[in-house]
Structure 1
Amino acid sequence: MAKNNNATATDMDPALGDPFSPENFVRTITELGTMLATIYDRRTGLTRNQTRIVIALLEKDGQTQTELANALAIHKVSVGIYVGELEALGLVERRTHPSDGRAKCIRLTPLLHAQKHIGRDHYAAIHGAAISGIDEKDYLTMLKCMQRMHDNLLALDAREKDAGKT
């Protein structure tokens, strides 16, 4: 999408600068993500990276520390620290890998499964607060635009990786 050349000075909040600037876009997206995570972290008592590990395990339980590190782009040692913290809370456990006795699989515990609805309820309440006052059509348009941006960035990433191979 090109910059709206019909935008006037009154359309732009001087505190934000040019609403079409890359800096404004990154700041807005980053601040929104930070607020969502901050509120969720405060409600659950987990850190952001602990939450990321739990979510990854909810999607695919039994991953190794290395698999989690790769999936979340977190250093393997850091994942080990977060897993240790989650173990101390009784939310995950390490089990011997079924085919590699040297590796450990990280598994969610029955305690986490019994309490996961609490996290989902927090997500739902935060989502509801975040979208309050936004028209359904605008919300769906926003999601469609965000998906398009994601797809555009995936394509850019693939092109850059391919260019780096030559």
Structure 2
Amino acid sequence: MSDEEKKTRLRLREFLPYRLSVLSNTVSRGIANLYDREFGLTIWQWRVMAVTGDAPGISATEIGQRTAMDKVAVSRAIAGLIEVGHIERKTSESDGRRSELFLTKAGQDIYEMIVPIALDAERKLMETLSSDEQDQLNRLMQKLAASASPDRPLW
């Protein structure tokens, strides 16, 4: 293989988008195992619940924008959560064409049980980094997010 071929060859282990994706999926799956066993929620359902708990009255479109989930995944997660009684859909009082999502009492109860689990998992993960490294990671993530999405903040 020539030097030129070596330069243009994609090495996934060194390719940042691949590495970020694998890391994100691995971290998410580890936490998801905790709330799947205990509460029977998928990763997608928990993400919808987490965003709805943080922003009551949010629309399905806004959930997709905030989570970078595709429309089908958002729709399926919402349908499943409505079916089990964790989320309810209401028509907006200000715009009859808009549906707003809210956690039900049961959904709020589960949300309040999962949040400490998620925060503890985050704490354990972040403990592997020093305080300076945590600050640096946050700064670097902000820079990458701004570069990847210059027109709107990712979070």
- TM normalised by structure 2 equals 0.71
Which residue pairs with 2:48 in the alignment? 53
Tell me whether 1:38 sits opposite 2:29 in the alignment: yes
Question: Separation in 1 of the partners of 2:124 and 2:62?
Answer: 34
Q: Say which one has the larger Rg.
A: 1
Equivalent positions of 1:1-166 (< 5 A) are: 21=14, 23=15, 25-45=16-36, 46-101=41-96, 103-155=98-150
One-letter amino acid matched to 2:60: Q
Question: Separation in 2 of the partners of 1:126 and 1:96?
Answer: 36
Q: Give identity over the alignment, percent.
A: 19
One-letter amino acid matched to 1:43: L
SS of corresponding position for 2:112: helix
Aligned length: 138
Question: Separation in 1 of the partners of 2:123 and 2:86?
Answer: 27
Q: Give structure 1 stretches of 5+ with no counterpart.
A: 1-16, 159-166
Question: Separation in 2 of the partners of 1:82 and 1:129?
Answer: 28
One-letter amino acid matched to 1:61: P
4+ residue runs over 6 A deviation = none
Question: Separation in 1 of the partners of 2:57 and 2:86?
Answer: 13
User: How far has the Cα of 1:146 moved from its partner?
Assistant: 1.5
One-letter amino acid matched to 1:135: S
Question: Separation in 2 of the partners of 1:78 and 1:153?
Answer: 22
Greater shift after overlay, 111-120 or 30-39?
A: 111-120
**Contact 2:49/2:111 (8 A) holds in 1:** no
Question: Separation in 1 of the partners of 2:53 and 2:145?
Answer: 23
Greater shift after overlay, 75-84 or 50-59?
A: 75-84
Which residue pairs with 1:12 in the alignment? none
Question: Separation in 1 of the partners of 2:92 and 2:12?
Answer: 53
Question: Separation in 1 of the partners of 2:105 and 2:134?
Answer: 36
What is the alpha-carbon root mean square deviation over aligned residues? 2.8
- TM normalised by structure 1 equals 0.67
Q: Give structure 2 stretches of 5+ with no counterpart.
A: 1-10
Which residue pairs with 2:7 in the alignment? none
